[in-house]
Amino acid sequence: MKDEHLYIPYGLIIEKQWWEGCGPKQKPHLIIGGLISLGLAFFISLLIHIIIGLAVGIFGILATVTLITKQDKINLSIIEYIGLMIRKNKEQQNFLYKYKDDYGIM
């Protein structure tokens, strides 16, 4: 009998995406980040200057898109990756060592 190995393609994405790494699942994050950056841009343009407000708004929207877009190799966005690192650091850590006194007798 011939050995047949199951081939599972790597990085297969079955959901519809608007551009690579961003689809309908990221829509709420896009809306919230866009509204926050547009509101901040509006207040800065009223208080300081319209050019600075526009720059802040454009930077905020670009930062939001960058933070929520999933990377192709690991399929995680920057925000998801930071969340994983925070959860990992909160886990209980095991330190495997033996107690020795100052002179190494025990």
Model pTM score = 0.61
Label residue 106 by pLDDT band (50, 70, 90). low
The pLDDT tens digits of the residues spanning 4-42 come to 788 877 666 777 777 777 777 888 888 888 898 888 889
Is 96 a domain residue?
Answer: no
Is 83 a domain residue?
Answer: yes
Is 78 a domain residue?
Answer: yes
Is 105 a domain residue?
Answer: no
Model confidence at 91: pLDDT above 80: yes
Top pLDDT among 101 and 105 is at: 101
55 residue type, one letter? A
Chain-centroid distance, C-alpha 56? 21
- pLDDT, position 97: 76
45 in Cβ contact with 55 (< 8 Å): no
Is 10 a domain residue?
Answer: no
Model confidence at 74: pLDDT above 70: yes
Top pLDDT among 46 and 10 is at: 46
Exposure string for 10-24, b = 16+ CB within 10 A, e = fewer: eeeeeeeeeeebbee
Is 106 a domain residue?
Answer: no
How many Å apart are CA 13 and CA 89, to the nearest integer? 30
Q: Number of structural domains, the chain?
A: 1
